[in-house]
Structures are given as C-alpha cells and as structure tokens.
Amino acid sequence: MLIGFIKHNRAISIVLLPIALICLWVYGFIHPIAPLTEHAAPLYKLLTAGIAQYPLLLTLISFLLVFCGAVLINHLVERNEIVATQTYLPALVYVVLMSLQPEMFSLHPIVIANLLMLFALNKLMQTYRKETAYAEAFDTGFLISIASLFYIPSGIFILLLWIGLLIIRPFIWREWIISLIGLILPWTFLVFYYFWNNTLDALKYEVFYYTNIAPRKSFSVFVFSYYEYLQMTLLMVAVFFSAGRFLKDLSKSTVQSRSNLLLMLYFLILGFASIFIAPSYSTIYLSFLAIPFSIFFSSFLLFAKKEWIAEILFLLLILSNFVNQFF
C-alpha cells in the first residue's frame, strides 16, 4: 500500500512527491483563478501587483512554494528528531493538507506565510544546546515579522518565538531583546514608508479593521457542502488518531524531540487561534495547521498498529481532495 511503499522506498519517494502534488493540483492548472488582493497585507499586494492578471503563473508559483514547504518540513522533521524514522511521509501529508482548499491554487498569502514559518521554526529549533543563539533569535523574529507582512495574522506566532525560547533554551535576556529587534525591524521600515508617503491611516485601516473587526465577519459563513462535511469528518478522525500517537511520542521521546513536539503543539494552538484575527471566519485560514498536523498525522501513519486503518484513512483523505475540487 501507499504508506508501506513510502516507508520502505525512501529514495523513490522523493520522485513521488512532485508527481503527487501535480495530480492534486490538476484542478488549479485547469481552472486558474485570480487572487483577491483587496485589503491584503502590504508585501502580498506588492508581490501580486504585476502578475495578478496571470492566474496560471500564480498557480505555478503557489505550486513551487508548496513543494518547497514540503521538502523543508521533511528536513525539519529529520534534522530535529521529531519523528523517529527517516521518511518523506511528512512532506506528502503536508502536500495533501495544503491541497484541501482550492483557494491555495491562486497563491493565497498563507502559502507564503507557511513557508516563512517553516524557515522560522528551523531557526528556532537550531538553538537547542547552543551556548548563545543571538543570530537564530534575530532570524526567527525577522522571519515571523516578514510573514506577517504577507499575511497579517501571522503576527500571532510572535508568541511561539517566546514560548520556544522558554521550552528549548535557558533564559538569556539578550536573546529575547534581539528577537524583539528582529520582530520590530521590518514593521519599522514599513511604517516609515507609509508615513513618508502620508498614507499611515491606510495602513491602520488595512491592518486592524480588515483583520480584527472586518465588516460582515461572522461564524455564519461556516456552511459546508456534503463533500466538505465528508472531508471535515475524515480530518476529525485523523485528529483523534494523531492525538493518541502524539501522547505516546511525547512519553517516549528524547529531551530534544519532546521539546520540539511541544513546540509544534503550541504552533497548532496558535494556528487555530489565528482564525479569530483573520479577515473572515473561514476554513481556508486554518491552513496554518498543515505544518504541525502533517507531523502528528504522519507519525500516526508510520507507527499505527493496524496499518490497514492508516492506509484507508490516508487514501480517503487524498480522494476527498479530488471530490471536493471537481464536485
């Protein structure tokens, strides 16, 4: 079956990854759509300003970013001993999760923010057992700040940086100050740019009004089709099994692995909380959860005692992508 093949054929799996992504994104290449850039974050507007009229190009860029994110999450897992085996399954799960919402095909800002957050996580995890981690603390703060310039609610992961410093490292006040400088620096330049161009009010309007108190922001938008209900049911079953596996991993892992697992748990919590400061209450804005959940779910898939359950669940989740896109 698929999971068994990936588990025992690591060299071939790297070839399977782009093929799987192409198959999952067929709909996006056949029906490319232009992104919604109104009230978007500053850097996202700048990036899409010249290419928004080329939907197919945006789909291709989004495709490449998701693929890079998949490779990076696999590097993150292996380098930091989060999953106790070397496999490309976390990358494949990430690809599947990032393909659940057709909006991702049009270079949604979360696609960019997720990639930057993976770089930030990699920097943060590298601080383990280092005597000093000034450069890593600055880089992590800087990357989170840049992510927030593409997608404003990414700023909630400022808390993850400080939680990570508490979990992974002893308290060194210089690292906290340096991380804060990294966080503030990109926004300082942005605010100065808007001030220089006498458009500071516009920045306040975009950042606060259309995130925290956006008009018509209501939970009533959570109306799903039959196929979406099916997909959500599969995800909830996957969450149930992954939670049990997470508790086992947490009790048996090394100190480094345990710290990183806890960090991913806080990422999951903050990713869920980010929807409350998103432009609207929509499942698309829960795509931050693809990063931690791809790790937790892949661990369950790899070590499930009843392998047939894992195989069927993963296969159904993949099939739900095609059903949701085409029907």
For residues 256 and 88, what is the distance between their CA atoms, to the nearest angstrom?
Answer: 21
Place of tokens 């800002």: 109
Full residue range of the structural domain in which residue 36 is found: 2-326
Counting the structural domains of the chain, the total is 1
Q: Encode pLDDT of 94-111 as tens digits.
A: 999 999 888 888 888 999
pLDDT of residue 97: 93
pLDDT of residue 219: 62
**pTM score, whole prediction:** 0.92
Mean predicted confidence (pLDDT) in 270-276: 89
247 vs 220, more confident: 247
Q: How far is CA 188 from CA 146, 149, 180, 182, in A?
A: 12, 12, 12, 10
For residue 324, the tally of other CB atoms under 10 A from its CB is: 19
Confidence at 39, pLDDT banded by 50, 70, 90? low
Do 156 and 276 meet the contact criterion of CB atoms below 8 Å apart? Answer: no
| Encoded tokens for 8 | 């025992």
For residues 269 and 277, what is the distance between their CA atoms, to the nearest angstrom?
Answer: 14
Residue 28 burial by Cβ neighbours in a 10 Å radius (0-12, 13-18, 19+): buried
pLDDT of residue 197: 84
